[in-house]
Amino acid sequence: MMSLLALLMASGLSTASPLPSQAQSPPQATARRTLVVCADPNNLPFSNKAGEGFENKIAALVAKDLNADVSYVWWAQRRGYVRSTLNEEKCDLWPGVATGVDMVATTRPYYRSSYVFLSKADRPLGALSFDDPRLAKSTVGIQMVGDDAMNTPPAHAMARRGMTQNVRGFMLYGDYAKPNPPAAIIDAVAAGTIDVGVVWGPLAGYFAARAKTPLRIEQVTPVNDDGQWPMVFDISMGVRRKDKVLLGEVDAVLARESPEIARILKSYGVPIATPVQQTMSSTRAETPS
């Protein structure tokens, strides 16, 4: 991996022209750089092995701008994902991380999204908030990480209000034997198994647009529950802390390609959150990407 990193940092530099002589060696071909990306092979709309996710498309855009090829290290996103991939130098770039997360150096944000309330469009469940009495009377699906303090912000928001009996948990990791396991919560809303789903926005936007039943998507409120559970996150790409050259390169690409990135996100139905005064990024809770 270290030879690859050296190649990444040295890319764009041409070899010196040989001095004139009667017999010159043929010019040596410069090896094309490769950007090695960490990604989940079964996690639409973010990524999959067929390259159909929006993070696949954005990673390809970054590589093209850097005149590089893309290769992937496929790894199901579980706890320890960063430690086992990026920090062990198995790959160079990790798309879709919360801005400012401690484990890596993060680029400038390339989008901001939020958790959303998802419900059937024909149900009287519009303009919900966590404090809405209708929520307490509804069966609510929540994305779960586990049963400890690292759970998702909506899980904490519901528990803080004593709403546990009407909650149905959907594991963030899901049944990995099935395609796109986190989508089960959207399927449950469409089928009427639950009344409301509290879902990470990009996941909800993508699968709701493909549901046979019309679904309503609205940004959750409050956006920062009890001052400690953010529902809105700026999203960046992560690199190893020592890879300052790559960090700068990717930062520049994200700025240059901002219009095209916005087009990609829109095509996948990613809800772009209303700007907030403070960047809602936290390492206390995991975002489901």
Asked if the structure places residue 27 within a domain, the reply is: no
* Dihedral angle computed from the Cα positions of residues 156, 118, 55 and 258, in that order, rounded to the nearest 10 degrees: -100
Asked if the structure places residue 173 within a domain, the reply is: yes
User: How far does Cα 80 stand from its chain's mean position?
Assistant: 16
Count how many domains the chain has. 1
Asked if the structure places residue 73 within a domain, the reply is: no
- Sign of the four-CA dihedral 85, 91, 92, 94: negative
Distance of alpha carbon 120 from alpha carbon 190, whole angstroms? 7
Asked if the structure places residue 200 within a domain, the reply is: yes
Asked if the structure places residue 133 within a domain, the reply is: yes
pLDDT beneath 70, residues of the chain: 1-31, 146-150, 275-289
Stated pTM of the model: 0.82
Asked if the structure places residue 285 within a domain, the reply is: no
Q: Return the beta strands (E) in 184-247 as ranges.
A: 196-200, 215-219, 224-225, 229-230, 232-239
Residue 275: predicted pLDDT? 62
Q: Return the beta strands (E) in the chain as ranges.
A: 34-39, 42-43, 47-48, 69-74, 94-98, 105-106, 111-120, 140-144, 167-171, 196-200, 215-219, 224-225, 229-230, 232-239
Asked if the structure places residue 40 within a domain, the reply is: no
Asked if the structure places residue 87 within a domain, the reply is: no
Partners of 118 in beta bridges: 197, 217
CATH label of the domain that carries residue 143:
3.40.190.10
What is the residue range of 192's domain? 114-230
